[in-house]
């Protein structure tokens, strides 16, 4: 049980207590829960809750409490210089620079990507941000990427009857997965393992009771439940990457499989062989690919049908089996009578990716080993076939500009927040969130000490898109969205939502809470995902899609700089709150969703 009290604190008293504020943590923590402090709200009224065990019985204890609360609050005036330092004029010049021809679309692996990283690092350095520990004096965290193009020696065959075999054609029937290892010939019995998913939190396991050891696992793409609403429910509740082909291969490897064959969805074709070159090759994190040791192939749905249908299953089509799993959301796995032999071989090329990390060290000795991460990706798509530049002004020069603006703002005032703040400009996001994936394995602060993550990806435009009733999307008009910004991911942390709302009282943006679920799967489409999947309360600030998304026409002249100023001021205040609160925001686990959150998240 808690009591709720209110105390008015005069600004002058706060100022006098400023110098001792950072040394009073122990005292304050012993009093319990201070989550209700509204330090930055307009009224300097401070609410807090006191556990029943700490009853206030005398004026003396009230005075003590008063002092402790006072030393805990930071006022708007105290941090207003940083707030006012965030200005649309500088935002505009920074963004125009990043989205200029000079950076040539900022594609990973190009000299311009290196230039982008160096520029960001210089701004971090100028503002006194620290590099991550163990990285010398460099703010740039490099990582290795690998592109792989399958070689013709790759092979796949299945045994139809005893002795007779059907050899499959590369490019027509099968294709080695581009993140697979080179392998010798692997010949083994096949097992059909449904969707190849082991999800304990959803009580679902395609490998349960199946002897996979030394066998070649045949699995379907995507997730059980088909493409209907069920799939998004599964996605929403499970912050995992079960549908990622590499994850499926790793799950099969863990179950003991000697190889894996992944059946593409019936409406997807294998890529044409002519497209298999380094210009079009998918990139993967070298460290991630190194985890896989078994060969992995993709086959077309028609080929999958041939693999699965045997003497004992003449009448049962692959589609019928898949429908059965989808309908019951229960695994249907079984051994196959036939063997397959597969071999994968590649040509490989290495690329360099770069995150740029700048740390604002926390001021409180007790809390500075915890952090909040604010991220945006600095890479974009580079140039197209005819050398046209993809400027990526909104995507994501806007978010990157936001980081640089915050680096300036936090250095202006005399105070620092209690927890540390990590500003992270991710590389290789457009290639599959690779920079943030690398960071999640090599973080500046352990993820369990990362109390919140805020991603800025496309924060510069007014949402504009046609209606898409099938996906529950209403028409959005530019002129209706000049003051709106969406915050995705808050369903997993109502506390984050709360602090954004409190701070927004001073800003007056229209905040929307959407895109937490649905076919577009936005929660998995930017760098906050690696944090969310690790259980870190994370939100994604996003001003929405527009017709210039991933087109050369995403240019700096179309940015709403006034709105960006508001968004970044909101972020500045929210970051202060989150970094200063005694109690970190809570993460709402996927296995215990709040029904109210589920209902409201679609709006």
Q: Which residues bind Zn ion (CB under 5 A)?
A: 395-396, 457
For the bound state, the minimum distance from the C-beta of residue 515 to Zn ion, rounded and expressed in Å, comes to: 14
> Helix, strand, coil proportions of the chain in percent (round to 5)?
35, 20, 45
For the bound state, the minimum distance from the C-beta of residue 424 to Zn ion, rounded and expressed in Å, comes to: 14
For Zn ion, the closer of residues 173 and 463 by Cβ is 463
> Residue 327: how many CA atoms within 13 Å on its side-chain side?
6
For the bound state, the minimum distance from the C-beta of residue 457 to Zn ion, rounded and expressed in Å, comes to: 4
CB 99 within 8 A of CB 397: yes
DSSP 473-527: B--B-GGG-TTEEEEESGGG-HHHHHHHHHHHTTT--EEE---SSSTT-GGGSST
For Zn ion, the closer of residues 202 and 376 by Cβ is 376
For Zn ion, the closer of residues 396 and 495 by Cβ is 396
CB 248 within 8 A of CB 262: yes
For the bound state, the minimum distance from the C-beta of residue 399 to Zn ion, rounded and expressed in Å, comes to: 7
For the bound state, the minimum distance from the C-beta of residue 394 to Zn ion, rounded and expressed in Å, comes to: 8
* Residue 554 CB contacts under 8 Å (≥ 6 apart), including other chains: 99, 390, 391, 392, 393, 394, 395, 548
For the bound state, the minimum distance from the C-beta of residue 547 to Zn ion, rounded and expressed in Å, comes to: 16
For the bound state, the minimum distance from the C-beta of residue 455 to Zn ion, rounded and expressed in Å, comes to: 9
- Strands 484-488 and 510-512 turn out to be parallel
For Zn ion, the closer of residues 536 and 541 by Cβ is 541
For Zn ion, the closer of residues 396 and 463 by Cβ is 396
The angle subtended at Cα 460 by Cα 455 and Cα 464, nearest 5°, is 110
For the bound state, the minimum distance from the C-beta of residue 115 to Zn ion, rounded and expressed in Å, comes to: 19
For Zn ion, the closer of residues 204 and 540 by Cβ is 540
Distance CA(540)–CA(486), nearest Å, equals: 8
For Zn ion, the closer of residues 234 and 540 by Cβ is 540
Q: Could you identify the residue written with the tokens 């809390």? A: 367
Distance CA(353)–CA(375), nearest Å, equals: 16
For Zn ion, the closer of residues 368 and 380 by Cβ is 380
Nearest-10 crossing angle of helices 399-412, 111-126: 20
For Zn ion, the closer of residues 364 and 457 by Cβ is 457
Distance CA(298)–CA(178), nearest Å, equals: 10
For Zn ion, the closer of residues 457 and 554 by Cβ is 457
For the bound state, the minimum distance from the C-beta of residue 289 to Zn ion, rounded and expressed in Å, comes to: 23
Is-cis flag, bond preceding 182, omega within 30? no
For Zn ion, the closer of residues 554 and 577 by Cβ is 554
Q: Which helix (H) or strand (E) holds 157?
A: strand 155-159
Give the residue among 238, 228, 203, 205 at the shortest CA–CA distance from 323: 228
Distance CA(319)–CA(325), nearest Å, equals: 10
> How far out from the chain centre does Cα 207 lie?
28
Integer Rg of the chain from CA? 27
For Zn ion, the closer of residues 191 and 522 by Cβ is 522
* Residue 30 CB contacts under 8 Å (≥ 6 apart), including other chains: none
Give the residue among 325, 342, 395 at the shortest CA–CA distance from 183: 342
Q: Structure tokens of 441?
A: 């394995």
* Residue 63 CB contacts under 8 Å (≥ 6 apart), including other chains: none
Distance CA(523)–CA(473), nearest Å, equals: 16
For the bound state, the minimum distance from the C-beta of residue 430 to Zn ion, rounded and expressed in Å, comes to: 7
For the bound state, the minimum distance from the C-beta of residue 141 to Zn ion, rounded and expressed in Å, comes to: 19
| Alpha helix stretches (DSSP H) within 127-258 | 229-237, 245-254
For Zn ion, the closer of residues 259 and 399 by Cβ is 399
Distance CA(575)–CA(197), nearest Å, equals: 37
> How far out from the chain centre does Cα 142 lie?
19
For the bound state, the minimum distance from the C-beta of residue 395 to Zn ion, rounded and expressed in Å, comes to: 4
Q: Structure tokens of 62?
A: 């009230």
Distance CA(382)–CA(152), nearest Å, equals: 30
For the bound state, the minimum distance from the C-beta of residue 432 to Zn ion, rounded and expressed in Å, comes to: 12
For Zn ion, the closer of residues 395 and 548 by Cβ is 395
For the bound state, the minimum distance from the C-beta of residue 22 to Zn ion, rounded and expressed in Å, comes to: 37
For Zn ion, the closer of residues 112 and 457 by Cβ is 457
Cα-flanking dihedrals φ and ψ of residue 4, to 5°?
A: -110, 125
Q: Could you identify the residue written with the tokens 């989205």? A: 99
The angle subtended at Cα 410 by Cα 444 and Cα 99, nearest 5°, is 80
For the bound state, the minimum distance from the C-beta of residue 524 to Zn ion, rounded and expressed in Å, comes to: 13
């Amino acid at each position: 049980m808690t009591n709720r009290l209110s105390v008015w604190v005069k600004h002058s008293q706060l100022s006098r207590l400023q110098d001792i504020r950072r040394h009073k943590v122990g005292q304050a923590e012993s009093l319990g829960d201070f989550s209700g402090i509204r330090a930055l709200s307009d009224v300097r009224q401070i609410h807090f809750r006191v556990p029943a065990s700490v009853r206030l019985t005398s004026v003396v204890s009230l005075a003590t409490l008063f002092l402790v609360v006072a030393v805990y609050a930071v006022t708007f005036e105290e941090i207003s210089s940083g707030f006012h330092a965030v200005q649309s004029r500088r935002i505009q010049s920074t963004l125009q620079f990043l989205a200029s021809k000079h950076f040539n679309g900022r594609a990973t692996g190009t000299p311009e990507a290196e230039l982008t990283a160096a520029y960001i690092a210089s701004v971090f350095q100028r503002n006194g941000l620290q590099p991550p520990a163990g990285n010398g004096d460099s703010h740039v965290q490099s990582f290795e990427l690998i592109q792989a193009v399958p070689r013709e020696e790759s092979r796949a065959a299945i045994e139809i009857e005893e002795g007779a075999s059907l050899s499959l054609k590369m490019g027509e029937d099968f294709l080695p997965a581009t993140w697979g290892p080179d392998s010798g010939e692997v010949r083994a019995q096949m097992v059909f393992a449904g969707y190849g998913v082991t999800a304990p939190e959803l009580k679902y396991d395609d490998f349960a009771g199946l002897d996979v050891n030394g066998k070649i696992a045949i699995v379907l793409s995507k997730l059980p439940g088909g493409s209907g609403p069920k799939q998004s429910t599964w996605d929403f509740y499970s912050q995992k990457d079960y549908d990622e082909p590499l994850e499926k291969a790793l799950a099969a490897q863990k179950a003991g499989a000697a190889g894996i064959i992944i059946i593409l969805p019936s409406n997807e074709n294998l890529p044409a062989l002519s497209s298999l070159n380094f210009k079009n090759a998918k990139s993967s994190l070298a460290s991630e690919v190194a985890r896989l040791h078994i060969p992995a192939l993709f086959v077309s749905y028609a080929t999958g049908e041939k693999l699965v249908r045997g003497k004992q299953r003449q009448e049962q089509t692959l589609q019928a089996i898949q429908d059965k799993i989808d309908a019951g959301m229960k695994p249907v796995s079984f051994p196959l009578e036939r063997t397959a032999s597969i071999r994968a071989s590649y040509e490989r090329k290495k690329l360099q990716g770069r995150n740029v990390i700048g740390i604002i060290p926390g001021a409180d000795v007790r809390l500075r080993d915890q952090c909040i991460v604010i991220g945006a990706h600095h890479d974009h798509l580079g140039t197209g076939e005819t050398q046209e530049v993809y400027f990526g002004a909104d995507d994501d020069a806007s978010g990157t500009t936001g980081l640089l603006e915050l680096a300036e703002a936090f250095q202006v005032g005399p105070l620092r927040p209690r927890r540390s703040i990590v500003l992270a400009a991710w590389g290789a996001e457009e290639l599959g969130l690779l920079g943030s994936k690398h960071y999640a394995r090599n973080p500046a602060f352990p993820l369990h000490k990362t109390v919140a993550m805020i991603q800025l990806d496309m924060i510069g435009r007014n949402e504009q898109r046609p209606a898409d009733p099938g996906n529950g999307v209403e028409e959005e008009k530019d002129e209706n969205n000049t003051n709106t910004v969406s915050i995705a991911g808050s369903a997993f942390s109502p506390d984050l939502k709360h602090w954004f709302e409190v701070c927004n009282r001073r800003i007056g943006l229209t905040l929307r809470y959407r895109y937490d679920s649905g076919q577009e799967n936005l929660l998995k489409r930017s760098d906050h995902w690696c944090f969310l999947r690790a259980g870190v309360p994370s939100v994604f600030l996003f001003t929405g899609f527009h017709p210039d998304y991933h087109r050369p026409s995403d240019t700096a002249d179309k940015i709403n700089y006034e709105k960006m100023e508001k968004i970044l001021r909101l972020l500045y205040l929210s970051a202060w709150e989150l970094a200063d609160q005694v109690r970190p925001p809570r993460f709402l686990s996927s296995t215990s969703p709040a029904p109210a959150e589920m209902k409201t998240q679609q709006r």
